[in-house]
Structure 1
């Protein structure tokens, strides 16, 4: 059986933390902006650090595992 937990966590975090899709930190006019579909270099850096921190927490500390049997 394959462990699909890390794949699922990585995909969900990638979708939620894509800069400008749902939110952007820091925004262009405010600290946080929602659904503006714009991005910047600083925003990419902040979102990638958030992604790394959250994926490390979920995969190393919480140890999320999902097994799918056919």
Structure 2
């Protein structure tokens, strides 16, 4: 039986990279975008969640990323 690790790895990588404030924050305080400020807000969480949903949908459904391993 082989396991498909593609969705797990894509979801984890995107979750880390799209954490509000880590690499960038949309919307930022007083600006549209800030990089590496390590702050967050409710609006920022909502925007990053929508970006996460769109990108993970593209990777998992449209492109179909699969990484199979044999157990």
TM range (shorter): over 0.9
What TM-score, normalized to structure 1? 0.94
Partner of 1:18: 19
Higher strand share: 2
Report runs of 4+ in structure 1 exceeding 3 Å deviation.
none
**Alpha-carbon distance between aligned partners in 2 of 1:16 and 1:27, rounded to the nearest angstrom:** 17
- The count of corresponding residues between Structure 1 and Structure 2 is 70
Gaps of 5+ in 2: none
**Alpha-carbon distance between aligned partners in 2 of 1:29 and 1:16, rounded to the nearest angstrom:** 23
Partner of 1:62: 63
Gaps of 5+ in 1: none
Partner of 1:41: 42
SS in 1 for 2:48: helix
Kindly indicate whether residue 29 of structure 2 is the aligned counterpart of residue 28 of structure 1.
Answer: yes
SS in 1 for 2:68: coil
What TM-score, normalized to structure 2? 0.93
**Alpha-carbon distance between aligned partners in 1 of 2:53 and 2:47, rounded to the nearest angstrom:** 10
